[in-house]
Amino acid sequence: MGEILGYARVSTSDQSRDGQIESIREHYPNLPAENIYADIGSGDDPTRDEYVDLRERLENDPVEKIVAAKLDRLGRSTAEVADFVDTCADHGVGLHLVQQGFDVHPDNEMGQMMLKFMSIVAEMELKLNRERRQEGIERAIDRGVQFGQAPHGMTKNEMGVPVPGEGYERVQAFIREVKKGRSKRPTARFFDVPEGSIATILDRADELYGVAFDNDEWKIERARVEAGEKGLAELGEAPD
């Protein structure tokens, strides 16, 4: 029987890998720290340092299973994800996506096909969302449309497009702290974020502030805090 290896990834240094790692440890509490690989970088880049080390160990050492929070943490490219799934199968390694409920055995061809299909859909949705957002902005600018009030912590440039402004880093810090399981309203007050802006900020956290936020994951973290399973340090000084 081989070892179990975990993998987590975020796109930027403003994001935290803690939530992904904790979700892995919920299912594998005895997983050694040296068996968890974590990157900061684009899922389109197959040369991520920890990802490369993970694959090298997968291909050369006895490994039973790879564990990640979601499929898109392993990669954003359909080709890369499909190659990773095939590599796991070739080496008799299972793949467990703990937040998506997929635990695929290496000889489960149907499960492997399903993972590849999921990667195709995810990549298509990502590209379509980017294209729609950019096309919408360009059409609005061509028509001379001025965007409405900028989201909290942002301002509008000369074309009326929202860009980071005063208080932007405070909003980023607010999102990161809420992700840990903190109550939303008290945390908003600490970072001087209007309560009326909380929903918009969290709904568009990744798009506008570069900090990914999943409300379902927050509910899990919040429940752990309220149950006393997870402790949180007191908030430090808010960014200027």
CA 218 to chain centre: 12
Asked if 11 is an active-site residue, the reply is yes
Residue type, 222: R
Structure tokens, 237: 């000084």
Secondary structure (3-state) at 212: coil
Rounded Cα distance between 190 and 166, Å, is 16
**Is 130 exposed, middle or buried (CB count within 10 Å of its CB: 0-12, 13-18, 19+)?**
exposed
Q: Contact, 89 vs 112, CB < 8 A?
A: yes
* 159-164 contact pairs (CB < 8 A, 24+): 161/137, 162/208
Q: Among residues 11, 16, 77, 197, which one is catalytic?
A: 11
What positions carry a catalytic annotation?
11
